[in-house]
Amino acid sequence: MLSTLDTPYVDLLLIHWPGQTGSKPINSTDPACTGPASSPKACRQSTWKAMETIFADGKGAARAIGVSNFEVNHLQDIEELDGLLPSVNQCEFHPFWHPDALLAYCAARGITFNGYSPIGAPDVSVTHGWDLRVHPDIVAIAKRVNKSPAQVRDVEGSVPCTASTCHPQPPQLTCIRVRI
């Protein structure tokens, strides 16, 4: 994997999703994921054990390991293993998607919660009426503080947020924190 990326290590190695999506077959040779006794929980746990091995092998291939899109029950599956806990759980986070129980669970165990899509996920938000770029409350707050709607995010406490862009040189934005 590292040779394909042309790097000696990765800063953070993540399990992207806690399980299979729909009926899409899993591309794995791990019997816990594809064998007759496979289950989503067994696959999660087996994958996590493999990640722990990569992290602890002394070669430094991954400087940290974590998960993405895991809910409390998925994290509990990892915690049952009595090994390492993820250093990060990266999940959608914005004013209309604010998983308080998950935030508390991660905080209590020292797992950094990293939010993505601070203005909503384009594949979900608009279909639910969550287009934060035009939501009247967000637009009003943005106007009041002379910022763009994309710079307004709902954060109680300190949740790092990762924004993505398709622009080769994204504009430098400063987000403001508000409580809605």
**Domain presence at residue 142:** no
Question: What distances in angstroms separate CA 67 from CA 37, 121, 128, 168, one per listed residue?
Answer: 24, 18, 26, 27
What CATH number did the domain enclosing 48 receive? 3.20.20.100
Asked if the structure places residue 143 within a domain, the reply is no
* Range(s) of the domain holding residue 46: 2-121+158-168
Residue 134 in tokens: 């035009």
- Is residue 144 in a domain? no
Structurally, the chain folds into a number of domains equal to 1
Residue 43 near residue 30, CB atoms below 8 Å = yes
Give this prediction's pTM. Answer: 0.78
Is position 149 within any domain? Answer: no
Q: Is 151 within a domain?
A: no
- The reply to whether 152 falls in a domain is no
45 lies in some domain? yes
The pLDDT profile of the chain, 180 residues, written as one tens digit per residue, is: 788 889 999 999 999 888 766 556 677 888 888 878 888 899 999 999 999 999 998 788 999 999 999 999 999 999 999 999 999 999 888 777 778 899 999 999 999 998 887 777 766 666 776 777 788 888 898 898 888 877 776 544 556 666 555 545 544 444 444 554
Inside any domain, residue 137 = no
Q: Tell me how far CA of residue 39 lies from CA of 47, 59, 123, 171, in angstroms.
A: 12, 31, 28, 44
- CB of 87 closer than 8 Å to CB of 34: no
H/E stretch holding 46: helix 40-56
